[in-house]
Amino acid sequence: MRVAVVGATGMVGQVILKVLAERNFPISELYPVASEKSIGNNIQFNNKSFKVIGLEEAVSLKPDLALFSAGGDTSLEWAPKFAEVGTKVVDNSSAWRMDPSKKLVIPEINASELTSEDLIIANPNCSTIQMLMALKPLHDTYKIKRVVVSTYQSITGTGVKAVQQLENEYNNEQGEMAYPYPIHKNAIPHCDVFTDNGYTKEEMKLSNETKKILGDDSVQVSATAIRIPVVGGHSESVNIEFEKDFEENDVRKLLSEFPGITVQDNTSVNTYPMPIYAEGKDDVFVGRIRRDYSQPKTLNMWIVADNLRKGAATNAIQIAEYMLKNGLLPA
C-alpha cells in the first residue's frame, strides 16, 4: 500500500511512523510529507531513509492512504485534494470532527459505521478517546446520564515547543514559551483557547465528540482541562452518573473485557494508572474505581493513556487497519 504521512516531522507524525513499523502495516511506498522548510530532508523508517516531500507532490502521487497530523488549517485545505484523487484520509486535527458528513471514529467503539463512501475520516481528540474507551462498555450496560471530568494533560499534546519550554525551565534557561505562564512546577487550567461560554475548545471537544461517537445526545459532559508538567500521557478524573445502578466488581469485569482497556485497580498494593507507566503503550489504563457515596448510581474512575499513541497515532492506524481488513482500502 502507498501511504503518505502528512506532518511526518512533527511529534505525532514521528509516532505515526513508529507505530506503523511496530504493527507491520503493509507499506509498499512511504511518502513522508511536511512543510516547505522540511522538504528535501531525510527521515528514517524501518531502517531505510526517505526524502520528505511537499503536499502538492504527495497529491500527485495519489497514495492509497494519507495519515494527517499537520494541524486544522492544513487538513481543511489539503484533505479534500487527496480525497479528490481517491486517497483515503485519516485526519488527527479537529478540522472535520464535528462535520456531520464525516465519521468520527474510535475503532473499538464505532468503526462499523465506516463505508467505502468515507474518504475523510476524523480521529477524535486525545482526551476524548481515552475517556470513551472506558465509558463505552459502561454506557451500554448502565446508560450514562452525566459525566464530570477533569483532565491533567501532558505537554506533548501541545507539541515540541512545549516540551522545549519545560526543559528550559527545568534547566533554568531562557527560551521561547508555548504557554502564557511557566509550566515547570505549575498547573495551567487552560488547554486550547477560551470560548464565549467560558469553557475552552478542549473542554467542549470532550462534550461534543462524546455525543457524536456514542450516537447519544442525551449524555451530558462537563469538563475542565488542565495542562501539567508531564510527558507520558493524559490523566482524567471522571465522575459518571448512570440511569441504572451497578456493582463495582461488575464494572471492573466490563472494563477488563473491553478491547484496549487494562484495569489497574488494587489500592492495597498501590496499583493504579499513572502516565509514567502508560507512556509508549497503546492501551487505556483505568483504576481508582469506586462508588460516589455523595450521589446514587454514580461512579468515580481514573483514566490514563499515552496521548501520542492511543490518543492520536495508534487510533488513526487502527482505523486504517479496520478499513484494510474490511475491504475499504486496497489490499
Residue 313 per-residue DSSP state: I
Q: Is 130 assigned a ligand-binding role in the annotation?
A: no
Q: Is 10 assigned a ligand-binding role in the annotation?
A: yes
Does the active-site annotation cover 191? no
Does the active-site annotation cover 126? yes
Instruction: Tell me the three state secondary structure of residue 36.
Output: helix
Q: Is 208 assigned a ligand-binding role in the annotation?
A: no
Q: Is 204 assigned a ligand-binding role in the annotation?
A: no
User: Whose CA is closest to 308, among 276, 274, 282, 277?
Assistant: 282
**Could you tell me which residues come within 8 angstroms of residue 167 by beta carbon, excluding any fewer than 6 positions away?**
none
192: left (phi over 0), alpha (psi -120 to 50) or beta: left
Q: Is 46 assigned a ligand-binding role in the annotation?
A: no
> At how many degrees (to 10) do helices 248-257 and 126-142 cross?
120
- The active-site residue, picked from 184, 190, 191, 234, is 234
β-bridge mates for residue 179, sequence order: none
How far CA 293 is from CA of 151, 168, 239, in Å, comes to: 22, 44, 11
Residue 134 per-residue DSSP state: H
Q: Is 12 assigned a ligand-binding role in the annotation?
A: yes
Q: Hey, how many other C-beta atoms are within 10 angstroms of the C-beta on 269?
A: 6
Q: Is 116 assigned a ligand-binding role in the annotation?
A: no
Q: Is 153 assigned a ligand-binding role in the annotation?
A: yes
Q: Is 251 assigned a ligand-binding role in the annotation?
A: no
Q: Is 156 assigned a ligand-binding role in the annotation?
A: no
Binding-site residue numbers are 9-12, 37-38, 97, 153, 227, 307
Active site residues: 126, 234
Binding-site residue numbers for substrate are 153, 227
Binding-site residue numbers for phosphate are 97
